[in-house]
Chains A and B, each alone.
Chain A
Amino acid sequence: MITFGDVNYVDPWWVQIIKAIIIFAVGLQLVPVVLVVERKLLGRFQARYGPNRVGPFGVLQPIADILKLLSKEHSRPTTSIGPLFTVAPMISLITAIAALAIVPFGNVVNIFGTEVGLYGIDVGIGPLYLFACGAVAFYGLMLGGWSSGSKYSFLGAMRAAAQLISYEVSQGLALIGVIMTAGTLSLVGIVEAQESMWYIVPQFVGFIVFLTAGFAETNRPPFDLSEADAELVQGYMTEYGGGRFASYYFAEYLNLIVISAITATVFLGGWLLPFGLDPPAWVDPIVVLAKMGLIVAFFIWIRATLPRLRYDQLMALGWKILLPLATLNVLVTAILVVTT
């Protein structure tokens, strides 16, 4: 029975507040970590060291970057529309943080006599919530680019809009195979359904499509058409500087983290371990974070490898390859689910 719109397990209100604070704190701490890991890994992929001057092994580099950005003046072009220009990065950031709420780091566990679910909230519409956040996040890019009053920003925003919309379709379709197999939209339910086998094996096509669309959704290379430093001078964030630019940057990396976490949850079995390993419940979040880290590393690997696609190639890949593949995947899965 597929349920829509209800919440599977409701914690006491004070637990929810504590959980929100913890997820907020941990989630935001992950961004500087990913930032420095990305730069160091990119360096390794290019046979160099990456940042290694600020702090031991350069680990304080993102702190220095963020401090520098935050201490800068909030300038804006005279052609820009003030309120929208200010609000746009906030929309991006808020939606990115909100999407973090549904990532399950573990099942319901008993902590000091209180039943606590190791997730923000286990909604019965899990992936839909994710796509809703993604769809709103696109207003952040769109408004940011448009209200800047600059042609490069506008072009970047238009590209971002077209790209996000076309890839969201395939991304959603790729998840439908999983949802049909699991018979639930709850992410916790999807993880529990992977007890016998992770969905990366039966839903391999879905995994590939989801990941590829994930690159486009997070504006990561090779699909960073909306930023395209070489042709669009950073696209929709051309006119942004200081804290606002930092917000966009932060949102981008949060999106990367969310997509990685969702991929780990949906296709790599969340907190489940293979070979019948059943560690105590406190290991579960670490397992999820480790799987997430692997996918982030994969994203960085791809960034170090592939050049940016041309715009028509991007559209062709989205509509002519990913969408038919995802549809076919849904079709085959549906037949298999119905017949078995």
Chain B
Amino acid sequence: MTPWNPSDDVIAVQRGPEPGGPSAAYRAFGETLRGMKTTFARVLEGPKTIQYPEEKVPVYPRFRGRHKLHRFEDTGLEKCVGCSLCAAACPADCIRVVAAENTPENRVSAGERYAAVYEINMSRCIFCGYCEVACPFDAITMGHEYELSDRHRGDLIFTKEMLLAEPLERTPLRAEGE
């Protein structure tokens, strides 16, 4: 007889079997065999490793990697007009734009002005993609490349020429539905 009367909503705690004793040893042996089965199944499954420098994990289409600057395909003029909106939007303050006027002899971009200097400091960039959003001409987009290590900090300041150059596409793109 319990000293108090438990109501219906009280549930008895489910306890495991008592530790110790021969039954525990038997259980431990059984569990050991089960564990061995689990590990052996991994052998049959084969390695899941992706051998990184040789194989790469494919990136999604909207992956935000290194930036690209774009040109108009028909005229070859740069899309960037040097408005510095990307630099203003950048929370890491890693974009530096110096604009200059286009002249009839020296026509670089489609607009009135062009970016004489366009630098992105990749060691500061946080790959947030705000520059891409801020750009009124879609002149800057985030690419797929993420292998950006270098030996000197200075080498990580990407100039306009580097950002305009057709990048070596070294990153596999994830196929539809993958």
Contacts and interface: CB of A to CB of B under 8 A. Distances in A.
The 8 closest A-B pairs by CB, nearest first: A305-B35, A305-B39, A47-B42, A45-B39, A47-B48, A48-B49, A44-B43, A49-B47
Contact of B47 (A44, A302, A306): A44
The secondary structure that dominates the A interface is: helix
Q: How large is the interface on B (under 10, 10 to 19, 20 to 34, 35 or more residues)?
A: 10 to 19
B48 A321 contact: no
Given A44-B43, A47-B42, A48-B49, 4 more contacts: A45-B42, A49-B51, A305-B32, A305-B36
Nearest to B29: A208
Interface in B42-89: 42-43, 45-49, 51
B39 A304 contact: yes
Contacts of B48: 47-48
Nearest to A222: B32
Contacts of B43: 44-45
B25 interface: yes
9 contacts: A44-B43, A44-B47, A46-B42, A47-B45, A49-B47, A301-B36, A301-B39, A305-B35, A305-B39
Contacts of B25: 321
B32 A49 contact: no
Interface string B121-143: 00000000000000000000000
Contact of A49 (B39, B42, B45, B49): B49
Contact of B36 (A43, A46, A47, A302): A302
B47 A43 contact: yes
B40 A301 contact: yes
B74 to A, nearest CB: 49
Q: Which of B25, B36, B39, B46 has the most CB of A within 10 A?
A: B39
Contacts of A45: 39-40, 42-43
A45 B36 CA distance: 10
A286 B35 CA distance: 31
A306 B32 contact: yes
B2 interface: no
B38 interface: yes
Interface string A277-296: 00000000000000000000
Contacts of B51: 49
Nearest to A42: B39
Contacts of B36: 301-302, 305
A85 B7 CA distance: 68
A306 B35 contact: yes
Interface string B90-105: 0000000000000000
A305 B40 CA distance: 9
Contacts of A321: 25
Contacts of A44: 42-43, 47
Contacts of A47: 42, 45-49
A48 B43 CA distance: 9
A321 B42 CA distance: 31
Nearest to B46: A47
Contacts of B49: 47-49
Contacts of B35: 305-306
Contacts of B46: 47
A301 B43 CA distance: 10
A324 to B, nearest CB: 10
Contacts of A306: 32, 35
Nearest to B25: A321
A111 B45 CA distance: 46
A321 B22 CA distance: 8
B43 to A, nearest CB: 5
Contacts of B32: 305-306
A223 B36 CA distance: 16
A217 to B, nearest CB: 19
A216 to B, nearest CB: 15
Interface in A32-79: 43-49
Interface in A297-331: 301-302, 304-306, 321
